[in-house]
Structures are given as C-alpha cells and as structure tokens.
C-alpha cells in the first residue's frame, strides 16, 4: 500500500476495525474510508454497489460481521449465518468488480474442524466436522474464505483470507450474549467483586485451550500482510500458544481483585476442546505477536476500568 491509497475498513467501530484504524493512522495512512451500519448496511447488495461505485477504494479490510459467544451463537443461528454470509458475498464480489488491488478477509479459528491435530495448520480447514455450537457462524466465514480463494484462482485477484485466534482487548463488547470469554469473565468478576459475591460461575469444565491474540497485534498483522504478502492463500494469525479457560479465569480473578471462588458449570458446553494455531507461515514472513496474555489482560482490564467501571 502507498500512503496516499484509499483504504476501506469495513467494521471500523468494532473491536478489530477500530484497532485497524488506529494502526493505519500510526503508520501514516490517512485516507481511510469508513461507514457505520446506519450509513451503509453491508447486507444490502445495491447499497454496497453504490458505495463501491462512488468511492472506488484501493484496498479493503473486511472486519465487519455478527459475532458473539457460545450463548449468542446457540440462540441466533439464523442471524449469524445470514449477516456474515451476506457481508462476505457483497464486499468480496464488489471488491472484484471495482478492481480493488488487495483485500484482507478476517476469519476465526472456530472455522476449523472440532477435532483436529494441534497446532492447527491452514490446510486443516474443511478436513472434518465443525463444532455444532458455532457452526452457522463458521460456515458463513468459510464461505468468505472460499470466495477469496475462488476469485484468486479465476480472476487473479489478491484477496487474502486470514484466520485469527481468539481476539481480545480494548473495545470489546461486555454485554450479555454478545460477549466472548475474556470480556464476559472480566464483567462477571468485576460485578461480583462490587457485590461482594462469594463465587462466579464459568461455563464448561475450564479445560479447553484457546490461542488468545491481543487486538492491536491482529491489526498490526493485517496491515503487515497487506503491505508485504504476495501469496493469496489462507494464513493463520495467532500466538501459537494455548491458554486454558481455567488459567484464563484464574488470571482475570487476580487482575480484577475478585476474592471469591470460581465454579465451573459442567452442564454448559465447552465448545471446541482445543484450538491453537500453527503460525509458521506468518513467522517465516517476518511477523510475530508482541503482546503476551499477561500484559494483554492487564491492558484490557485497565481500559475496562477507565471506560466502564462496570457494564
């Protein structure tokens, strides 16, 4: 990318999108296009086409979509599959039609099969059955990846599908079913501490492991790939290290100062048992994460206290 390039960040108000805007500006990119959902509904094809006709962005980052934890995925499968599939189809198609030079499409590690060798290599996608609790979301995101790969083969586009680990950090949603595990635990323990509760309940057994990556790292990696990546196949972005939900809960308990007991509700689903990404390809390109889980949780907690004090 050149500093004068016109760059569209789809989903700029979200966790990753807002971090991407920060990173782009820090690197000297000033011509950044953004639209709120009220200004542009990305599921409406004719509106998306008008946007591309008028603006003609040079580069596109696709971070927009409907996300949430296990509860939200379970309760709203139709919304998850429709919104994410429609956004992928519209943005990728019109990026091709209006000659976008390069595109980053952000996917999630839950797209990989439920039971797969660890760490997870890019070629394991579609090699087995998907975890049922997030299957509609995962199928929609896989559609986006396949669209990128198919357009690359047929039209020689430069659309890069990125599969990220579990993203967390400042800017997260901590409200109800929209919350992922880290914001959900921060909110729970913060609220429990204020009420002087003697326990906090955590879904599942605490045994599953996830590859947690700080949001500024994923944004930095996306910009790095846009600037340096020549190939267009799938690439993992993560830390390559697994953290169990039990350890995560313990660390958040310590950081928030919650004094009570952590209770694991084994009647609730664990989801995918283990998901640690193989980041060999990205490491060979010269990029590595800079924020470890301990520092990342502290930074996230400090942001939470400053912005919310409680949800």
Residue 132 included in any domain:
yes
129 lies in a domain?
Answer: yes
Mean pLDDT of the residues in the chain = 93
pLDDT band at 35 (very low <50, low <70, confident <90, very high): very high
CATH of the domain at 108: 3.40.50.720
Position 207 in a domain: no
Mean pLDDT of all residues in 290-309: 91
Phi and psi (nearest 5°) for 211? -100, 95
- pLDDT one-digit tens code per residue, 236-264: 999 999 999 999 999 999 999 999 999 99
Asked whether the beta carbons of 264 and 205 are under 8 A apart, the reply is: yes
Model pLDDT for residues 129-146, shown as the tens digit of each residue: 998 988 999 999 999 999
Q: In this structure, is residue 249 part of a structural domain?
A: no
What integer pLDDT is reported at residue 266 of this predicted model?
A: 92
User: Could you say which of 137, 151, 168, 214 is catalytic?
Assistant: 137
Report the pLDDT value the prediction gives residue 67, as an integer from 0 to 100: 82
Task: Provide the pLDDT confidence category of residue 311 given band limits of 50, 70 and 90.
Answer: very low
Q: What pLDDT is attached to residue 309?
A: 63
> What is the C-alpha to C-alpha distance for residues 311 and 131, in angstroms, rounded to an integer?
30
What's the mean pLDDT in 195-202?
92
**Residue 102 CB contacts under 8 Å (≥ 6 apart), including other chains:** 1, 59, 60, 158, 159, 160, 226
pTM value?
A: 0.92
* pLDDT value of position 23: 97
pLDDT digits (tens, 9 = 90+) for 144-193: 999 999 999 999 999 999 999 999 999 876 555 456 789 889 989 999 99
Report the alpha-carbon angle 149-151-156, nearest 5: 100
Is 248 within a domain? Answer: no
Let me know if residue 264 belongs to a domain.
no
Residue 70's pLDDT is what? 74
Report pLDDT for 171: 82
Say if 256 falls within a structural domain: no
Per-residue pLDDT of 62-118, as tens digits, reads 999 988 777 778 888 999 999 999 999 999 999 999 999 999 999 999 999 999 999
Mean per-residue pLDDT, 231-237: 94
pLDDT reading at 127 higher than 80: yes
Percent of the chain with pLDDT over 90: 82
Q: What is the mean pLDDT of residues 278-293?
A: 97
CA distance 311 to 62: 28
Query: CA-CA distances (angstroms) from residue 185 to 256, 264, 288?
Result: 10, 12, 27
With vertex at residue 137, the alpha carbon angle to CA 148 and CA 105, rounded to the nearest 5 degrees, is: 25
Cβ 273 vs Cβ 115: under 8 Å: yes
pLDDT of residue 184: 87
What pLDDT is attached to residue 179?
62
Q: What is the mean pLDDT of residues 216-244?
A: 96
The whole-number pLDDT of residue 217 equals 98
Domain that holds residue 158: 7-168+212-239+275-290
Query: What is the model's pLDDT at position 81?
Result: 96
Reply yes or no on whether 137 is catalytic: yes
Q: What is the pLDDT of residue 69?
A: 73
Cβ proximity of 226 and 272 under 8 Å? no
Domain count, the chain: 1
Residue 253 falls inside a structural domain: no
């Amino acid at each position: 990318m050149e500093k004068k390039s016109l760059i569209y960040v789809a989903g700029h108000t979200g966790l990753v999108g807002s971090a991407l805007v920060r990173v782009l500006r820090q690197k000297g990119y000033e011509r950044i296009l953004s639209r709120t959902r009220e200004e542009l509904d990305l599921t409406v094809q004719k509106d998306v086409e008008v946007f591309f006709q008028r603006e003609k962005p040079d580069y596109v980052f696709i971070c927009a979509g409907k996300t949430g934890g296990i509860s939200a995925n379970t309760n709203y499968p139709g919304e998850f599959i429709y919104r994410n599939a429609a956004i992928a189809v519209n943005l990728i198609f019109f990026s091709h039609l209006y000659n976008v030079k390069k595109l980053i499409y952000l996917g999630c590690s839950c797209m990989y099969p439920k039971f797969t060798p660890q760490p997870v290599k890019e070629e394991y996608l579609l090699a087995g059955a998907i975890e049922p609790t997030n299957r509609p979301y995962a199928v929609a995101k896989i559609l986006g990846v396949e669209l990128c790969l198919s357009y690359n083969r047929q039209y020689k586009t430069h659309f890069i599908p990125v599969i990220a680990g579990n993203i967390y950090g400042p800017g997260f949603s901590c409200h109800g079913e929209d919350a992922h595990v880290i914001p959900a635990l921060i909110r729970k323990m913060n609220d429990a501490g204020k009420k002087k509760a003697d326990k906090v309940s955590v879904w599942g057994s605490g045994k599953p492991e996830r590859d947690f990556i700080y949001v500024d790292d994923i944004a930095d990696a996306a910009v790095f790939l846009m600037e340096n990546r020549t190939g267009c196949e799938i690439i993992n972005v993560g830390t390559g290290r697994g953290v169990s939900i039990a350890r995560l809960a313990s660390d958040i308990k310590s950081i928030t100062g919650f004094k009570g007991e952590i209770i694991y509700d084994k009647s609730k689903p664990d989801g995918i048992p283990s998901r640690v990404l193989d980041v060999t390809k990205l490491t060979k390109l010269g990029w590595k994460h800079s924020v470890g889980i301990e520092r990342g949780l502290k930074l996230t907690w400090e942001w939470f206290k400053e912005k919310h004090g409680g949800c």
